[in-house]
Amino acid sequence: MPETEQEWTRGPLDALAHAHQHYLERTASAARYAVVGFDQSVEGSIAAFLRYGPGSADSSPEAAAARAPKSKFWPKLRFLEVWLHAAGRHLEIALEEIGRVHELRNELQHDGGWMVPDEADAEVGRRGAVAVFDVLADAKSAAQFGPNTGARLAWEKVPPRRPAPDAPKPDMEPSIGRRRVSPAAYAVAQREDPQHEGIHYTRLLRVMAEAQPSLGVSPVSLLSALNNAHDLFDRVAPGAYAWKPPSRRDITDGVSGRQLADVVYAWCRLNDPERSGSHYNHDIKRGLEAWGVRIRGGDVGKTIRNALSGDPRFSSERGIFRLVVTSHDNRR
């Protein structure tokens, strides 16, 4: 066993090697199996890391959810997102792209039709599988499982599958209002994901375009709607969202405004003493719910964000709120 290979890595490496063999064949059928295998390697790398590798000592809520029996893909990707941030590590590929390949794998395995992934999608799958394995195993596998050099048969010409939407750019503006997009997305998500486990926004966008082409939803419009409709959707992993059952709580009961900001301040003092920052919806909302705090309003995440925005005790960047260091803190 090579020095960089640890016992827990044998399963993920086997899946990666098998997928890479298909990837090098450069045929339509092999391309399908390559994408499936690369996605299996990603999921297997995270699962093995958590159950048998260094991650077995991780007691975070994200690790527990990803380690649970019969855990699905999205909790694992969410764990990887949190782990990368905590460990100060970086992937050379966006986690949203890894999630997109997972949805493509589901389409290949479960939709039943004959669809062949683009060569570019197979390459994204390869890059994602190698990157996830390497960052968790602290290894370098790129040379062993490198890109296809074209030495074998040319990629088989097949009818193009439905193109993936371009990734939205930060400076793009929503093309239509969120109030029109959110209900349409919610209805499609309920139908396509009845167990509300999570659905990638690119798949949601394709289905919406087929069902309501006149709506004219763009990637940035959909993401803007999903990220702001906290009463309708939870972001369960990078690029993936789960619809929420209608709430039965009394939206007029609970705290908001300055009172809510005071509670958040206390929560951050206790749970984020290093002031590394907490996301208002992913972290703070869940933390307050665990505390049993009742929050007023139909959209709890929006209520929290509004309460903290402009409060001098907090600084914010892209939804991450940090306690501001004051002169009082320096004197302690």
- Residue 66: which CATH number? 1.20.120
Q: What are the E-state strand segments in the chain?
A: 199-200, 233-237, 240-243, 278-279, 314-317, 320-323
The domain total for the chain is: 3
Q: Which domain holds residue 289?
A: 257-331
Say what the pLDDT of residue 27 is: 86
Q: Supply the pLDDT for residue 34.
A: 95
Instruction: Answer whether residue 330 shows pLDDT above 80.
Output: no
pLDDT tens readout for residues 188-227: 999 999 999 999 999 999 999 988 887 888 898 899 899 8
Residue 47 within any structural domain of the chain:
yes
**Res 151: pLDDT:** 46
Same domain, 13 and 124: yes
**Residue 216 contacts residue 208 (beta carbons within 8 Å):** no
pLDDT of residue 20: 95
207 and 319 both lie in a single domain: no
Phi, psi of 182 (to 5 degrees): -60, -50
- Cβ-Cβ contacts under 8 Å for 169 (sequence gap 6 or more): 220
Max avg pLDDT among 26-35, 105-114, 205-214, 261-270: 261-270
Percent of the chain with pLDDT over 90: 60
**What band does 102 get if pLDDT is binned at 50, 70 and 90?**
very high
**Does 108 share its domain with 133?**
yes
Taking CA atoms, 254 is separated from 57, 245, 285, 301, in Å, by 37, 20, 13, 13
Strands 278-279 and 320-323: antiparallel
250 within some domain: no
Strand pairing partners for 237? 240
One-letter amino acid for residue 22 of the chain: H
| 91, pLDDT greater than 90 | yes
Q: State whether 82 and 30 are in the same domain.
A: yes
Contact 322, 314 (CB under 8 A): yes
pLDDT at 6: 85
Averaged pLDDT for residues 271-278: 91
Q: Is 327 inside a domain boundary?
A: yes
Average pLDDT over residues 125-132: 96
154 pLDDT exceeds 70?
no
